[in-house]
Amino acid sequence: SGATIPIVSANMNSVTGPRLAATLARRGGLGVLPQDMHLQDLDAAIRWVKDQPVDFDTAYDLGADTTVAEALEQLLPVAGRGVVVRDGAGEYLGCVPATRLGTAGPDATLGDLLHGASTAIDAEDAGTPRHVYDVLTAAEVDFAPVTRHGRVVGTTSPTSAIRSDIYTPAVDRDGRLRVAAALGINGDVAAKAKALVAAGVDVLVLDTAHGHQEGMLRALDTVASLDLGIPLVAGNVVTADAVAHLVGAGASIIKVGVGPGAMCTTRMMTAVGRPQFSAVLETAAAAKSLGAHVWADGGVRYPRDVALALAAGASAVMIGSWFAGTLEAPGVLRRDAAGKAYKESWGMASAKAVRERFERLDPYERARKALFAEGISSSTIYLDPERPSVEDLLDMITTGIRSSATYAGASSLAEFHERALVGIQSAAGYEEGKPLPVSW
Do the Cβ atoms of 208 and 357 come closer than 8 Å?
A: no
CA-based max dimension of the chain = 65
Angle at 240 between CA 238 and CA 241, to 5 degrees: 105
**DSSP-derived secondary structure letter, 116:** S
DSSP count for the chain of H helices, then E strands: 18, 17
Query: How many CB atoms are located within 10 Å of the residue 240 CB?
Result: 17
CA dist., res. 408 & res. 360, Å (int): 52
Do the Cβ atoms of 246 and 220 come closer than 8 Å?
A: yes
Angle at 58 between CA 52 and CA 61, to 5 degrees: 115
Write b or e for each residue in 19-55: b if 16 or more Cβ atoms lie within 10 A of its Cβ, otherwise e.
bbbbbbbbbbbbbbbbbbbeeeebbebbebbbebbeb
Do the Cβ atoms of 64 and 91 come closer than 8 Å?
A: no
Examine the residue annotation and report whether 264 is marked as an active-site residue of this protein.
Answer: yes
The 3-state DSSP class for residue 99 equals: helix
Q: Residue 338 burial by CB count (10 A; 0-12/13-18/19+): exposed, middle or buried?
A: exposed
Backbone conformation region of residue 229, classed left if phi is above 0, alpha if psi is from -120 to 50, else beta: left
Amino acid at 381: I
Distance of CA 435 to CAs 178, 193, 250, 389, 440, Å?
37, 46, 45, 23, 11
Q: Among 63, 135, 144, which residue's Cα sits nearest to residue 97?
A: 144
- Of the listed 42, 233, 243, 264, which one is catalytic? 264
Catalytic annotation, residues: 264
